[in-house]
Chains A and B, each alone.
Chain A
């Protein structure tokens, strides 16, 4: 990475040279960037709200305050309420084992933790159908015992856990690695119990990382579409989550209602961004 000076012209008045691009270039680059982001981020978001309120406030309220939409909201919240705490617990446990100890196969373990990010959502849903569906490995046993997983709430919860699996772990592992082990060791030597050490030394160091991971995890759990779509069976009022409800309304050409429900999810996404920005600043501080 050394710059060989033979390739560069002799330095005459080099000190006067600006260490940044000329003002005109800067303005042009800012302009291009903002246009690109406006076109791909702001405009689509604006469309959601414009379409949602196209037929006025009454139509908006009617689309949102409706039994099927409320049932979808309830199911979405159930799935997130189960998935997020479990994945948070996993994230803390996995990062403790990975960041504070050395063992063989660590690299492999972290690669496996990342897998749900790499796998297509549709494939994520499919694997649970193959396990618990009617033609699945446990299918006959489940139907004998009258347990429904696929096309029912448990399947949706499982798919949601799968797709939001790595978020918390990925955020905390680097944080725990960066803080090292000295503080915890000191706490132990001074007589702290394992739990005291964790709650008084480790947790304060990683808490904003946990918050950050939980925010991302929740956003994904609420918004997941592909995986949930495969296992849900799209039964209105029963196995529809909010994103699936949006799809059904849209496919029925009920665009205004689809966008009204979508605007709720968009609002939630914006709240996520605000919380994320706050947490991010705390992580860096």
Chain B
């Protein structure tokens, strides 16, 4: 039973170089000789100044503007039934779409890394299409495809399923724009998965299914969750691809981002700002969760 000793912690995995996720603390002793390198002050100054001017100050204007409208007005705006319906729709469809992406993304990442088949590299390159394609283009083409007379919409309608201009259509759009996140987060982690562990578990008599469930999935879990959270966060704020396919009916298919635009067009700046503040808060919380997840993921890979 010498194989037992090999079934220790995951070996052979690189701690860094996960594209898209920042490696944590690779060089601990970096600060010792830092005075040798020039340019800290000027680059830091430009970084902070530019960040403040473009991102921080404009974003701060939002809660600042909200604070002038008074708590009662703010609360009655953000808890208005139409607004609450939009949160429910936005969060619900985003969660559903991110879940679909999590399942198919895991499958696709596994297939693209582990199996070889003709056209694999082409397919792999194509995965990034939703990042590169303008969302408005995605919106009009998905609407055309899933409209009642569309290529996919017509047969689906015959089966009694309406996609375009229903919440299901919103889900389809959000699946499209969130598709690369789970795949791109999982791919490097699957690549780094040490074959020794699988060999050890297999030689100990584990079936393929047991290896998958007890060894591989627990290892992939943090990255998988990160990919899900990224897709979810993106889906919550999405506007361009959804606005065409959703039909935009108040209470039914009106997402929060669209409601902000509607309020702006009615010159209801306070209302738009209040909803935007809620969304900004949500984004910020999600960003912190994603950062924590990425830290967990890179620690898990480094083990």
A interface with B by C-beta (< 8 Å)? 1-3, 5, 7-12, 14-15, 17-22, 26, 29-30, 32-34, 36-37, 39-45, 47-48, 51, 86, 89-90, 93-94, 96-98, 100-103, 107, 109-123, 126-131, 133, 135, 137, 158, 161-162, 165, 170, 173-174, 177-178, 180-181, 184-185, 188-189, 194, 197-198, 216, 219, 222-226, 229-230, 242-244, 246-247, 250, 255, 258-259, 262, 265-266, 268-270, 272-274, 276-277, 280, 283
Does B54 contact A161, Cβ atoms closer than 8 Å? yes
Complex Cα–Cα for A233 and B241 (A):
19
Does A130 contact B62, Cβ atoms closer than 8 Å? yes
B177: shortest Cβ distance to chain A, in Å?
10
Does B55 contact A115, Cβ atoms closer than 8 Å? yes
Does B55 contact A44, Cβ atoms closer than 8 Å? no
B151: shortest Cβ distance to chain A, in Å?
7
Contact of A1 among B34, B135, B219 (CB under 8 A): B219
Does A115 contact B237, Cβ atoms closer than 8 Å? no
Complex Cα–Cα for A79 and B195 (A):
48
Chain A: which residue is nearest B278 at the CB level? A123
Complex Cα–Cα for A39 and B212 (A):
27
Does B136 contact A247, Cβ atoms closer than 8 Å? yes
A141: shortest Cβ distance to chain B, in Å?
15
Question: B126 at interface (Cβ–Cβ under 8 A)?
Answer: yes
Interfacial chain A residues near B57, Cβ < 8 Å: 131
Query: In terms of DSSP, what is the predominant structure of the interface of chain A?
Result: helix
Query: In terms of DSSP, what is the predominant structure of the interface of chain B?
Result: helix
> Given A122-B260, A135-B269, A273-B126, A113 and B51 touching (CB < 8 A)?
yes
Chain B: which residue is nearest A11 at the CB level? B205
Interface size on B, residues (CB 8 A): 121
Does A44 contact B141, Cβ atoms closer than 8 Å? yes
Chain A: which residue is nearest B205 at the CB level? A11
Does A131 contact B61, Cβ atoms closer than 8 Å? yes
Does A43 contact B151, Cβ atoms closer than 8 Å? yes
Interfacial chain A residues near B257, Cβ < 8 Å: 120-123, 226
Does B205 contact A97, Cβ atoms closer than 8 Å? no
A175: shortest Cβ distance to chain B, in Å?
9
Contact of A115 among B1, B215, B279, B287 (CB under 8 A): B287
Q: Pick from B21, B133, B290 the residue with the most CB of A within 10 Å.
A: B133
Interfacial chain A residues near B258, Cβ < 8 Å: 122
A157: shortest Cβ distance to chain B, in Å?
11
Interfacial chain A residues near B261, Cβ < 8 Å: 122, 229-230
Chain B positions 197-221 with a Cβ under 8 Å from a chain A Cβ: 197-208, 210, 214-215, 218-219
A-B contact pairs, 11 of them (CB 8 A): A8-B204, A20-B114, A36-B108, A41-B130, A43-B145, A115-B283, A122-B258, A123-B276, A127-B62, A130-B58, A188-B36
Complex Cα–Cα for A148 and B264 (A):
18
A272: shortest Cβ distance to chain B, in Å?
4
Contact of A177 among B23, B58, B287 (CB under 8 A): B23
Chain B: which residue is nearest A162 at the CB level? B54
Contact of A45 among B131, B141, B238 (CB under 8 A): B141
Interfacial chain B residues near A178, Cβ < 8 Å: 16-17, 23, 26
Complex Cα–Cα for A44 and B147 (A):
13
Contact of A94 among B47, B134, B199 (CB under 8 A): B47
Interfacial chain B residues near A126, Cβ < 8 Å: 62, 260, 264, 272-273, 276
